[in-house]
Amino acid sequence: ETGVTQTPRHLVMGMTNKKSLKCEQHLGHNAMYWYKQSAKKPLELMFVYNFKEQTENNSVPSRFSPECPNSSHLFLHLHTLQPEDSALYLCASSQSRANSPLHFGNGTRLTVT
Amino acid sequence: QKEVEQNSGPLSVPEGAIASLNCTYSDRGSQSFFWYRQYSGKSPELIMSIYSNGDKEDGRFTAQLNKASQYVSLLIRDSQPSDSATYLCAADTGANSKLTFGKGITLSVRP
């Protein structure tokens, strides 16, 4: 399997549920990212991990909790979300150096009811 | 606030025409610039990167960068219906490949 793989592709959850999004990259990259994409808004960077260490938390509410056990895997744990958190959540990876482009996964379409 | 601005669009061109997509950025320290294409319901896909002033050509795509004017553009020659998508401009705005994205512009190529 190649590229960046995200699961699940679609997720519907209630506001009291706990769920997790999973991302795996097979590109040998050492940086991984979570982005949120909402309608009519730019992609919003949420978290950045370099060599498993979190290097960026873009003022994300604590109901989103990232986990990066190694350079190939990234999780986003979700709990007590709000309807406005409904969006496309994109995982990406890159080499951890300047000029490196991001490679995106297919995303998880999240709906919070 | 470091920003990347794109015209809101949508942009509609006839098949075979040149589509011109424009982008400006606010961070003078940005060194790397990228164009991503995103089909409806899909994830962004990298189509061009540019790091130096001037033009960079790849097939029907040409990226142009003018750092003095803080301006990046993407030209698509001989536009095809399959080019219909949303195009996202991105610039690096910090260390570790942190990218800031524009809102994107939707291109429609009419057969």
Q: B7 versus B67: which is more confidently predicted? A: B67
B37-82 pLDDT, tens per residue? 999 989 999 999 999 999 999 999 999 999 999 999 999 999 999 9
Using the Cβ of B40 and the Cβ atoms of chain A, whether some distance falls under 8 Å is answered with no
Q: Evaluate if residue B1 carries a pLDDT over 80.
A: no
Of B34, B42, B103, the CB nearest to A42: B103
Query: What pLDDT is stored for residue B11 in this prediction?
Result: 95
Mean pLDDT by 10 residues, chain A (113 residues): 89 93 96 92 91 86 95 96 95 88 95 95
Using the Cβ of B46 and the Cβ atoms of chain A, whether some distance falls under 8 Å is answered with yes
Chain A residues within 8 A of B96 when measuring between CB atoms = 31, 48, 50, 55-56, 96
Q: Evaluate if residue B35 carries a pLDDT over 90.
A: yes
**Could you tell me the end-to-end alpha-carbon distance of chain B, in angstroms, rounded to an integer?**
40
Using the Cβ of A10 and the Cβ atoms of chain B, whether some distance falls under 8 Å is answered with no
Query: What pLDDT is stored for residue A56 in this prediction?
Result: 83
List the one residue out of B75, B86, B73 whose CA is nearest residue B38: B86
Of A90, A98, A105, the CB nearest to B97: A98
Query: Does residue B89 sit in helix, strand or coil?
Result: strand
Query: What pLDDT is stored for residue A12 in this prediction?
Result: 95
Residue showing tokens 């370099």: A50
Q: Hey, are the CB atoms on B92 and A99 less than 8 Å from each other?
A: yes
Name the residue of chain B whose CA is nearest to A10's CA: B41
Chain A residues within 8 A of B102 when measuring between CB atoms = 42
pLDDT interval class at B36 (50, 70, 90): very high
Q: Evaluate if residue B105 carries a pLDDT over 80.
A: yes
